[in-house]
Amino acid sequence: MIDREFGRSLWYRLLVNRFMIVLASIAIVVAIWNVYVSFHDHGVVEGRVVDTDGRPVEGATVELWVLDFTTYVERTRAITGADGRFVIRGNASHNIQIGAEKPGVGRAARIPVRLYFKAEDVSLAAPLVLSGG
């Protein structure tokens, strides 16, 4: 069906206008975001634990605390390897805190880690530093 006044088909005018273009753009952004989320929502939290001299700490206990409505509760723990690295799996939250401790070496205060979606895979940029042991 051709609209003679405007020289374009009715379907073209219905589909190619600012309303449809904005809606389609939003839909595309949402779709891309959801694809990204589906590839990065394994609930993996990675990081390192070091002492005050910056040396990796083996055998430190790393705790994952999760916001439960209004307070943080401990969900799971992991032990660091020889290189001081730890991997926590199964985090299902978007608002977590990470703390670490090793008797004799010290304790790292819990640091808040904010995620953009639940179970987002994250690698902590700064290591947890044990002190006060």
Partner 1 sequence: MHRYPRWPIHLALLAASFLMLIPFYWVLKTSVSGENIFAYPPSVVPKEPHLFYYVDVWYYIPFARYFLNSVAVSAIAVAANVVLNAMAGYALTRDFAGKGLVLMLFLSCMMVPFQATIIPAYLITGRLGLLDSYLGLALPQCSTIVCIFVFKASFEAVPQSLIDAARIDGLSEWGIIWRMMIPLAKAAVATNVILSFIWSWNNFLWPLIVTRSADMQTLPLGLARFLSYQEDTTGALYAFCIMVLAPGILLFLLAQKEFIQGLTSGAVKA
Q: Where on the chain is the footprint of partner 1 (CB under 8 A)?
A: 18-19, 22, 70, 94-95, 114-118
End-to-end C-alpha distance for the chain, whole angstroms:
81
Q: Which CB sits closer to partner 1, 34 or 52?
A: 34
Minimum CB separation of residue 90 from partner 1 in Å reads: 18
Cα angle value 26/29/33 (rounded, 5°) = 140
Q: For residue 114, how many other CB atoms are within 10 A of its CB?
A: 9
Q: State whether the Cα torsion 26-31-36-42 is positive or negative.
A: positive
Exposed, middle or buried, 16 (CB in 10 Å: 0-12/13-18/19+)? exposed
Minimum CB separation of residue 42 from partner 1 in Å reads: 18
Q: Which CB sits closer to partner 1, 24 or 79?
A: 24
Minimum CB separation of residue 19 from partner 1 in Å reads: 6
Q: Give percent helix, percent strand, percent coil of the chain, each to the nearest 5.
A: 20, 40, 40
Minimum CB separation of residue 56 from partner 1 in Å reads: 30
Q: Which CB sits closer to partner 1, 23 or 109?
A: 23
Q: Which CB sits closer to partner 1, 33 or 131?
A: 33
